[in-house]
Amino acid sequence: MPITLGRGTTPLYIISISGIDVSDISDVYITFEQKGVKKITKHFPEAYIEDDKFKIRLTQEETLSFNAGTANAQVRFITQDDTAYKSDTFCLQVTDALYDEVI
């Protein structure tokens, strides 16, 4: 099942990372881009760890900044000992909204 990003919605993304003790993470950055242009990057406290997973919620304004089609996202994080990690990029299917305004 593809990951979706609905324009005009407020999605909560929950991202599992294996093989890392999340208590050692000092900051996490989650970046969304479309057509090679960075749209959104969030980090602590907007991107946070709960139940050993990274979590991030986008606003209506943020999701409306995307065009229907595809987008990419990536997680980067750093540990207390300054070791930096990154995930592979993952693709999101951006779905359109007929009403193109914040409600």
pTM higher than 0.85, yes or no? yes
Is residue 16 within 8 Å of 53, Cβ to Cβ? yes
Phi, psi of 60 (to 5 degrees): -60, -45
Q: Confidence band (pLDDT; 50, 70, 90) for 31? A: very high
Tokens 């997680």: give the residue: 75
| Segment 6-26, tens digit of pLDDT | 999 999 999 988 888 888 999
Is residue 94 within 8 Å of 34, Cβ to Cβ? yes
Which residue intervals of 1-103 are DSSP H helices?
A: 60-64
**Domain residue limits, the chain:** 3-95
Q: Classify domain 3-95 by CATH number.
A: 2.60.40.1220
